[in-house]
């Protein structure tokens, strides 16, 4: 059941959101296959990641529902070499109990809008667990991303080899 867009508030993340972000991501690391990390980072590590994204003047957003952070997303450099400076990679994570309610759509739409303000030309999604990660795959397709490649069996998590699906969208 999708929530009305007005119920979800998307805003810039702050340091006060780190505990919620850390909790949301920890679930995905421990139980999901979208992230290929195997040990959840602690709040100090998530703070460092947030600060790095912020220092590059890239957006890190959170979604709130009834005053509670229920998801987050951010854009980061695709690669550090100067030739890639106009390409960003997105990451979107939703509270495990809140999937399928339009929160991911609200977050990714806001992230795309922020990145379209420049100077970026392309946004990439690198989706762990490939086409079996239906939630992320469908979200990105809905937002105009196209599949441009698939790395087969490049990650090993939860006792299985996992693919990485590459998707791209012009900004």
- CA-CA-CA-CA torsion sign (147, 108, 21, 7): negative
Query: What is the pLDDT at residue 1?
Result: 47
pLDDT at 5 over 90: no
Q: Determine the structural domain holding residue 27 and report its residue range.
A: 5-170
Q: How far apart are the first and last CA of the chain?
A: 29
Query: What is the pLDDT at residue 84?
Result: 97
pTM of the predicted model, to two decimals?
0.94
Mean pLDDT of 97-111: 95
Average per-residue pLDDT in the chain?
95
Mean pLDDT of 145-155: 97
Do 10 and 107 touch, CB atoms closer than 8 A? yes
Number of domains in the chain: 1
Query: What is the pLDDT at residue 118?
Result: 86
Q: What does the pLDDT look like over 61-79, one tens digit per residue?
A: 999 999 999 999 999 999 9
CATH code assigned at 124: 3.40.630.30
Q: Which residues contact 70 (CB under 8 A, 6 or more apart)?
A: 8, 24, 63, 64, 94, 95, 98, 103
């Amino acid at each position: 059941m999708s929530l009305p867009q007005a119920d979800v508030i998307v805003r810039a993340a702050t340091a006060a959101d780190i505990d919620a972000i850390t909790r949301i991501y920890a679930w995905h690391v421990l139980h999901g296959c979208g992230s290929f990390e195997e040990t959840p980072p602690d709040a100090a590590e998530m703070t460092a990641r947030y600060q790095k994204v912020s220092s590059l003047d890239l957006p890190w957003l959170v979604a709130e529902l009834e005053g509670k952070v229920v998801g987050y997303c951010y854009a980061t450099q695709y690669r550090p070499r100067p030739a890639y400076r106009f390409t960003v990679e997105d990451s979107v994570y939703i509270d495990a109990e809140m999937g399928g309610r339009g929160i991911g759509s609200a977050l990714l739409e806001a992230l795309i809008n922020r990145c379209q303000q420049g100077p970026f030309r392309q946004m990439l999604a690198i989706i762990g667990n490939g086409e079996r990660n239906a939630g992320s795959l469908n979200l990105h397709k809905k937002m105009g991303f196209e599949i441009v490649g698939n790395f087969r069996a490049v990650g090993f998590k939860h006792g299985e080899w996992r693919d990485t699906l590459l998707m791209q969208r012009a900004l």
